[in-house]
A = this chain, B = another copy of it.
């Protein structure tokens, strides 16, 4: 059983047509899993729906607490890319290989609701990594995975790379 924890991020942003702004409504994760005809045993839980630039220390603590509380040993977290590495670090300090939990963070550069989104690719990727990687905390972006302590987002290119 895999837990998918939704925290918001670009992944789930939608165009609000009356205000002309990008905002959150519901998560697209269940629809994306249906589109991928996913039959992995997953449970989706929305913890928060925020832009990761607005994520506070308390929010990160809530994510860590939720992972601790979870009965599932495999956890996928959808997250904004801007501070994904910070949350990975917060988790990595708690969940090491002795903890028996595999946690993978992923997100998207372009909202799923846009035709050109990378979200479906990233979800398929993260869901696969979380099933086979050993206990630990990882970031899955750009078709690759990184351990929490060796990854950074390149702000110029938007690409995650080894740190």
- A contacts, CB < 8 Å to B: 10, 15, 17-18, 20-22, 32-33, 35-40, 42, 51, 82, 109-111, 113-118, 120-129, 131-133, 140-145, 155-156, 158-161
Contact = CB atoms under 8 A, between A and B. Distances in A.
B121 A38 contact: yes
A35 B158 CA distance: 13
B118 A145 contact: no
B132 A129 contact: yes
A35 B142 contact: no
Contact of A121 (B109, B121, B140): B121
A15 B111 contact: yes
B143 A33 contact: yes
Contact of A159 (B35, B37, B129): B37
B143 A39 contact: yes
B39 A144 contact: yes
Contact of A122 (B36, B129, B132): B36
Contacts of A39: 142-144, 159-161
Contacts of A42: 143
A131 B145 contact: yes
